[in-house]
Structure 1
């Protein structure tokens, strides 16, 4: 089995500061780190809007998957972290639009807060590539 690591960055200023990669591929396994709704300019996308923030998180995560040779179809697990779990349906709508055909295992959890208080949601993904 190939254990060479491949890494992807989203360009977030937090990645080098904290010392992490947006995504890491080890062989056929891919892990996408907790992904926040950060715009290309570093600002929060969709302040106050869980749906828009979730879409942004998924866009960033999907780009990271592609950067290491994976796709949405390879995702086997998602984790949706919300600061207010009563708003889960807003995040679920974005998740359902992206994953309706894939249907990975999914967990929604409430957290007390994120690094930036404007973030209402973060998303993590795990994927496994078909060895063929």
Structure 2
């Protein structure tokens, strides 16, 4: 596993975005730079976008089948608390090949709440629990997982416990070989979340 560190910054000055962009009531005011880029995407310059198609694929090109993955018994939809992503995506390719792309998943409960604040090992087990249920919702198991990306808030503090739990879990499942994996130190979206994992699985239908 390769470890690297990411320092995420989102302030407007730090990314060079004009501070004139702001929301006013139900409408929005965009900077000139934002208007240029929104126009290039086929979006209106001076109003929040309604659902529109900005696809520009080649004429006559086929499309893959995409379906959102859900596991509502263990974790809610991210859109319920304002995030713009699905928990996972099923992509069906020609020839009976299916890819399952699971978004970064953490120790979150059915109502979107953080579970086990301050307890790294419990958070990691819950993360594996949530990922397992997402896989099972599409008839997959960890034996179908080919890659994971693991984000730790504090690698120096938590890596040893992370590796112990991961080895215990994968060996208990009889995985051989283990999935390919990359580890990254990152500021996870909530300050009380200590670990987050993405996973990719491949199925033959």
**TM-score range with shorter-chain normalisation?**
0.7 to 0.9
Residues of 2 paired with 1:69 and 1:15: CA distance? 24
Query: Is residue 117–residue 192 contact of structure 2 (8 Å, CA) maintained in 1?
Result: yes
1:74 Cα deviation from its structure 2 partner: 0.2
1:121 pairs with 190, 195, 200, which one?
195
Q: Which runs of 5+ in 1 are unaligned?
A: none
Q: Which runs of 5+ in 2 are unaligned?
A: 1-62, 93-97
**Partner-residue secondary structure (3-state), 2:118:** coil
| Aligned-CA RMSD value | 2.1
Residue 6 of structure 1 pairs with residue 76 of structure 2? no
Residues of 2 paired with 1:30 and 1:41: CA distance? 24
Query: Is residue 23–residue 68 contact of structure 1 (8 Å, CA) maintained in 2?
Result: no
Query: Is residue 51–residue 93 contact of structure 1 (8 Å, CA) maintained in 2?
Result: no
1:79 pairs with 134, 149, 157, which one?
149
Residue 15 of structure 1 pairs with residue 76 of structure 2? no
Query: Is residue 32–residue 125 contact of structure 1 (8 Å, CA) maintained in 2?
Result: yes
Count of aligned pairs? 130
Residues of 2 paired with 1:15 and 1:128: CA distance? 26
Q: Structure 2 matches for 1:15-54, cutoff 5 A?
A: 15-16=79-80, 17-27=82-92, 28-54=98-124
Residues of 1 paired with 2:86 and 2:159: CA distance? 27
Query: Is residue 153–residue 185 contact of structure 2 (8 Å, CA) maintained in 1?
Result: yes
Query: Is residue 152–residue 185 contact of structure 2 (8 Å, CA) maintained in 1?
Result: yes
Q: Quick check: which one's helix share is greater?
A: 1
Q: Structure 2 matches for 1:62-101, cutoff 5 A?
A: 62-86=132-156, 87-100=158-171, 101=174
Give the TM-score of the pair, scaled to structure 1.
0.86
1:31-51 CA distance string (max 9 Å, x none): 100001112243322211211
Does 1 or 2 have the higher relative contact order (CA < 8 Å, sep 6+)?
1
Give the TM-score of the pair, scaled to structure 2.
0.57
Residues of 2 paired with 1:20 and 1:75: CA distance? 21
Residues of 2 paired with 1:80 and 1:5: CA distance? 24
